[in-house]
Amino acid sequence: MLTVYSKNDLDDEFRIIPEPQPGCWIHVDNATMQDIDYISKLIGLEQSDLQDCLDKYEVPRIEKIDEKVLVFARHPTLSRESGLFTTTFTIILTKNYFITICPGLSYLVQNFILHKPKLTTCQNAKFLIYILLKITQAFTLHIKRIRTSVLKQEKEIDHIESEDITNLTMNEENLNQYLATLIPLRTVLEAITSGKYTLLHEKDQDLLEDLLNASIQSEDLCSTNLRSIRSLRDSYQIIFTNQLNKTIKLLTALTIILSLPTMVASVYGMNVKLPIADNHYAFLFIFLFIISIGCIAYYIFQRKRWL
């Protein structure tokens, strides 16, 4: 779905306009090949140059084609389609248009519009920096939420359920995808900071440097959380191993305790002449003997803490 927005210094919020005009913002949600064909004709680029906008696995990078800058980024997604926790988000800067393309529904753009930023759609460089800032902030927010979940699991480490293992594995994969996005995104920000791809004013340069620092902090926070998850996973493994050892010891002890009476009963169940077989109290003696060896075995295993 293609939507055209316009906003100037007098507007409080973004206005939807029917057709693209110089200085507007064109956003495409759930982009299709028809949308890509329309954009390519509008800005004068080959369709093949824009096909990567639809690639759900595209890695963040930046390109410059005929004075047009293409920034391929990713931002966290609320859905988990195909096991992905991030989605492709392409930003295109041209002389007349600021274009964003997403192969799915971008909640980031919806929040961006609702917050009514004090920007105009003709400020390409500042618009680019502001959206990249929102992407970085989204990563930081999601990473902190995962950190909160991991801390909660650390406090309840003595009560491990199968669901905890599933959540931990999912959080680890989530952070791995975030880190795989943040590292190349930092390279993109460094390239923009160099000024080779777009004209930056002095204030824009300072803002971009702050954005770069924020991206590095998000990357470090993600790495720290990954280390915490690996540490917690190792703790889970130790706990499971310890519980398994206790279970094996218990079953072994019970097997031995129950085997001793069975052996005695098996011997005296044979149809041959046996000691005290003719005694009227033979059953009582044998029963007391079985109980005695059972108690002795139980005492020994209790001393060894197998029970």
CATH number at residue 83: 3.30.460.20
- Residue 51: inside a domain: yes
Name the domain boundary from 120, 147, 177.
Answer: 120
| pLDDT-derived band at 201, boundaries 50, 70, 90 | low
Counted domains in the chain: 2
Residue 44 backbone phi and psi in degrees, to 5 = 75, 40
pLDDT greater than 80 at residue 4: yes
How far apart CA 149 and CA 80 sit, in angstroms, is: 18
| pLDDT-derived band at 199, boundaries 50, 70, 90 | low
Name the domain boundary from 74, 99, 120.
Answer: 120
Instruction: Print the domain residue range for 256.
Output: 243-303
- Residue 238: inside a domain: no
- Residue 179: inside a domain: no
Residue 202 is predicted with a pLDDT of 60
Look at 188 and 264; give whichever has higher pLDDT: 188
Name the domain boundary from 80, 102, 120.
Answer: 120
The pTM for the full model equals 0.77
How far apart CA 233 and CA 167 sit, in angstroms, is: 11
- Residue 142: inside a domain: no
- Residue 258: inside a domain: yes
- Residue 180: inside a domain: no
- Residue 130: inside a domain: no
- Residue 66: inside a domain: yes
pLDDT greater than 80 at residue 255: yes
High-pLDDT (> 90) share of the chain, %: 4
